Amino acid sequence: MAESESRSIDIQDTFFLQDQSSKPYIVKFSTTMLSISLQNNDNQERSVLDNNTQLISIDDIYGCLCMKDNKDPIKCHLNIYLYSLRKPKGIIGTFSKKLTLQRSQLLLTYAKLNDYESNLAVVTRWHYYIANAIYLRRNLPLDIVTTKRDKRALVFVNPAGGAGKAYRLVMEYVIGVWSEAEFTYHIIITERAGHARDYVQSIQLADWSGIVLASGDGLIYEVINGLMNRDDWQEALKLPIGHLPCGSGNAFITNIVRYSQQPIMKTMEKFIVQAAVIIATYNVLPFDMAVVDICDGQRLFSFLCIEWAIVADVDCDSEQYRFLGEARFTVEAIKRVIQPRTYNGYIDYIPYDAADDTVNTNQITPNTTIAQLHRHLLPFNESIPTDSTVTKWRRINGPFAHVLITSKASISKDTIASTKSTLSDGYLTLQYIRADSSIRMNLAKTFTTMSDGKYLDYDFVEWMPIRAFRIVPSDTSGNMMIDGEKVSYGPIQGEILPSIGRCMGKPPKLDQVSINP
């Protein structure tokens, strides 16, 4: 540990490591680092290089617990729980240079004093310092620190999520992490569509530290719109939302992990552990939403995307293959590429301008109305002027094969729709493909390169950042989707709401380079 950092050491003592009861180690802890050094007979320190555990960043520690020894009535243990980049275990790790995020634990044994109570008091003090450092590292907003530190998170589990495996995934892979992190929660099993929406409309906001959704993206959409339907929606928006990936798309947590620049875990089991650790130690991050008006008179709120044409057809009609999980999108996409449909209509939009006057989160007060959230939307019975000499609005005429408007980079775990987007850019990204004689080839190229977003480099894919939009189909039937949920088919319009939501995430480390495309 550097000399400058040693002056900021909060606590220091001698421990034994697990299975090394004959070797005392000097353990030091500061607000940012845990240091372990082997103590020689002359009480001098010798650095421990085994398994690269000489220095452990506080960012890699998600919890610690005090435990009594099962055999020795005097000893007390401090079990420190880690989630960090490490080499794979076994023979693969021997030859691989790639690091992966893994859970591990460090067991420190304390037996310096003559009775258990005295040893426990010392270990409890260590627990306080480490747990407090983890909490302070989260840099939570003042309103959460002062009123919600001891509150539980409200967790909704969709039992149909993850091909019916959501509840099992939470029990097997999440509860243990949260116990180690001392993250408190209350679980509600949803019983029907709309259950979570109805529930959050009547909760006492002061009772909860945040809301966690164990589901796909549909439950997030449901809860956001439930919160926005409250009379005190301005306060409800301050509840941070966490996401445990238990569905087909899992776009929300994918975008959160992308923003942190952590590698996105491949399997559902590892992905849900990754999300559980993020939620247990979360920082509050802002995210953009969009206010959306649809043709039946409803005003809805989107956290992800608005879909029309083939992407909406794939999203909607793949529901019959939900049992396939994420593969359902691929099956339906192949069908739609073979027999593509042309969509007629037009798109009006306002190009993004950073200087444009848009509602900022800091401008929202208890007296702000929903109608005051947007600046550019007009009633559907009023046509939008598109003369560039008098208005910011522009028009694109169809026919179209593909239209997608996003506020995030990923619209599913395996689909990047806007490589430049993050959680809170302050704009929407409009992309479209015109219907022409090359429609099958163009759509095939698009769907085969969506995993990394490279399809956006094709000349036939046109895209731009926008502030607001209105889509007016000429057809009387088709699919229109908001965040993967089907809505009435017809004219639809929306506008960006920058940084209006809060989510449970992690900021990128300053010394960490991006490892996601």
The residues annotated with a catalytic role in the active site are 217
Q: What's the CA angle centered on 261, arms 5 and 95, to 5 degrees?
A: 85
Tokens 């960012």 belong to which residue?
Answer: 59
- The answer to whether 110 and 119 have CB atoms below 8 angstroms apart is yes
- The answer to whether 134 and 63 have CB atoms below 8 angstroms apart is yes
> Tokens at residue 443, please?
């759509």
Q: What's the CA angle centered on 308, arms 304 and 311, to 5 degrees?
A: 75
- The answer to whether 467 and 348 have CB atoms below 8 angstroms apart is no
Q: For residues 372 and 189, what is the distance between their CA atoms, to the nearest angstrom?
A: 35
- The answer to whether 158 and 215 have CB atoms below 8 angstroms apart is yes
Instruction: Decide the pairing of beta strands 241-245 and 208-215.
Output: parallel
Estimate the crossing angle of helix 327-338 against helix 310-317, to 10 degrees: 130
> Tokens at residue 115, please?
């009775």
Bridge partners, residue 351, by sequence: 466
State the alpha helices, DSSP H only, in 7-140. 90-95, 116-137
Complete DSSP assignment for 164-199 = HTHHHHHHHHTHHHHHHHT--EEEEE--STTHHHHH
Question: Residues of 379-404 as b/e, b for ≥16 C-beta within 10 angstroms?
Answer: ebeeebeeeeeeeebeebebbbbbbb
Q: What's the CA angle centered on 24, arms 18 and 30, to 5 degrees?
A: 85
Tokens 């940012």 belong to which residue?
Answer: 32
